[in-house]
Structure 1
């Protein structure tokens, strides 16, 4: 029976958060952001093999935080690379199985729902991949290189989130074929460049990526409303 995996990518810094502490280690509620994220995937399935990709210089900090917060969910820690692309690649290299399903998720998206995770694995099993997205709520305009701007139909666009879940063989082959890692901003673009069709699933506006101080205020409010910190 094929196994399921989750690669949690947590390579961010605290620059936009205006702090020296990497954003994945900032506390919301009673524990760091990253622990909330890992808990969501463990709640989906305690048998899920979780691979945590961190900058090598932050691995010791993570281990110390696990001791401090008595965090015992088993994860396999892997050193990241210079970019997100290389970090995901390192996470894939840690998987010895030839087939299965693998979800790639941002470590600073702690509010992903169990339902979204479950749907992503189910659709990826059927169609090869499942990319989480939400429709745009605001009007948008396109700005060309000359500075001119034009109205666009927002119904033709969506905001991409994570998890982005794939059959393991598809994601491996896609990363192996990639020749210019600098052009890829997510895993869907890597798979698309390799010729694979992209299947979308609808996520949630609550599944935000925590990157700014304003996001932290929102996150604390969500934690408070949930009554589960």
Structure 2
């Protein structure tokens, strides 16, 4: 991100990226509570500068993460009670999650056990090994880009994490752990605007999306009646 500050705390339209994401979840009627997993050294900062000032009352606990993403989700899962039916895992730097997207993914998790938001690949995808030469062109008709939210019946995700620990298996997302368990994961159509902010260009694009959204709200609220 070419910044001394972590990407989730960079300001976007007056608020940290993480706050934009959390406000979406805070307003969702589908989310009962939020367990926020952050780097251990950020616990105090997030509590005092994120959760309290922005009145994020659905945050039930702020938990120290681990070395890798998988370790952090495992720490969060350990804090979830048996009364929870569905766990939704979402990246803090995906601030454009929508209620409709959450509804589709959670509904699919209830029906199928595990579901992931994603979008079809639109570019031609080449496989390039270490020598830098193209080895083959992949069929993009069957390729999707996985996003979050990813939703799972709690027992399935906990079982997948136990299995991954037993096998010393490391996946790049939670769905890959469930796949390793042998449980099918349903792909649900996400949104191309549901970007993960990881580069300076992503931040520019996200700010453009916010301006567009605010323009739509302004027009809808100030349009005179005839």
TM-score by length of 2: 0.88
Deviation at 1:41, TM superposition (A): 1.5
Q: Cα deviations across residues 41-76 of structure 1 (Å, max 9, x unaligned)?
A: 222227611110001101112123237844333312
Q: Does 1:222 align with 2:209?
A: yes
Residues of 2 paired with 1:33 and 1:115: CA distance?
21
Cα offset, 1:214, TM superposition: 0.6
**1:48 partner SS:** coil
- 2-structure distance, mates of 1:81, 1:87: 5
Unaligned runs of at least 5 residues, structure 1: 1-16
Report the counterpart of residue 202 of structure 1 in structure 2: 189
CA 1:96 to 1:209, structure 2 compared with 1: closer, same or farther past 3 Å? same
- Runs of at least 4 residues of structure 1 off by over 4 A? none
Answer yes or no: is 1:144 the counterpart of 2:129.
Answer: yes
Write the distance in 2 (CA, Å) between the matches of 1:220 and 1:92. 32
When structure 1 is superposed on structure 2, of 66-75 and 122-131 the one drifting more is: 66-75
Is 1:101 the counterpart of 2:86 in the alignment?
A: yes
Query: What is the match of residue 220 of structure 2?
Result: none
1:135 lines up with 2:120 in the alignment: yes
Aligned residues: 212
Q: Of the two structures, which has the highest relative contact order with CA contacts closer than 8 Å and spacing of 6 or more? A: 1
TM-score normalised according to structure 1 size: 0.87
User: Which of 1 and 2 has greater Rg?
Assistant: 2
Residue of structure 2 in register with 1:161 after alignment: 147
1:21-32 to 2 correspondences below 5 Å: 21-32=5-16
